[in-house]
Amino acid sequence: MSLVQRLGVVMGLLCLMMQPALAAGDEKKDKALKPDQIKVKITRKLPWVDVNHFGEIIRVMRIQDEDHKLTDDFARTSRPCPPFCIQPMQAAPGVKTVGELELLHFVTHEVKSGKGILIDARMPSWYETETIPGAINLPFIVFTTPSRQRDQVFKLLGGVKDKNGRWKFDNAPTLMLFCNGPWCDQSPRAIRALVKAGYPASKLLYYRGGMQLWKILGLTTVIPSPNLVGDDDEDE
């Protein structure tokens, strides 16, 4: 069982209600397109990226309708602050802030090889509407509130408590965290809590753009997969 699957089991124990993965938008039509038919590419030489989302290959690409505009909650420009205040570029000292291209590289390399985990740090009510392909939901409160569940997650991340009760994460994977966007503090709070608990800042990445910037760029989202794994995945 992979680390992501093990984390999925923990989140199942936390009673998070998830739905089967469905790509938002007309993914079947988009998959039928050939590279030379893509007018709105990710980069000049990159029309799409295929991402493994809980065993299902999701094609991440930009919406091809050049007249498309957001009409959902992420089209809003203003929210009350507090609590929805603009976040600093750096979530915590030593933690690198990344953009969309770095996220795509992360999920197709570090996550694919088992060396990294992409974490949607939002509360389940946000996550259940849609998320970035390849992400697992670990709400920020899992990290900010000491609990048995947090200890379980830390252990699954490779954490070991020393004789003084302090967590050591020498063999932990790199984590990339995101939330709703530059006005959302859920992933920064999770990152600060992880650093405080002893997680190396060098193993933490912050996608500040979050869901809002991801959607503004017309990138593919999914209705999330279950974090629980099937019975056939229980053997290592």
User: Could you read off the pLDDT of 33-87 as tens digits, one per residue?
Assistant: 788 889 999 999 999 999 999 889 999 999 999 999 999 999 999 999 999 999 9
DSSP 5-37: HHHHHHHHHTT------EESS-HHHHHT--GGG
Question: If we measure between CA atoms, which residue out of 157, 124, 147, 152 comes closest to residue 226?
Answer: 124
One-letter amino acid identity for 204?
Answer: L
Confidence at residue 31, expressed as pLDDT on a 0 to 100 scale: 64
Confidence at residue 16, expressed as pLDDT on a 0 to 100 scale: 33
Q: Domains of the chain (ranges plus CATH)? A: 3-67+83-231 (3.40.250.10)
Average pLDDT over residues 15-22: 37
One-letter amino acid identity for 23?
Answer: A
One-letter amino acid identity for 45?
Answer: K
Question: pTM of the entire structure?
Answer: 0.85
Confidence at residue 12, expressed as pLDDT on a 0 to 100 scale: 47
Confidence at residue 123, expressed as pLDDT on a 0 to 100 scale: 94
Confidence at residue 25, expressed as pLDDT on a 0 to 100 scale: 53
Percentage of residues of the chain with pLDDT beyond 90: 74
Confidence at residue 54, expressed as pLDDT on a 0 to 100 scale: 86
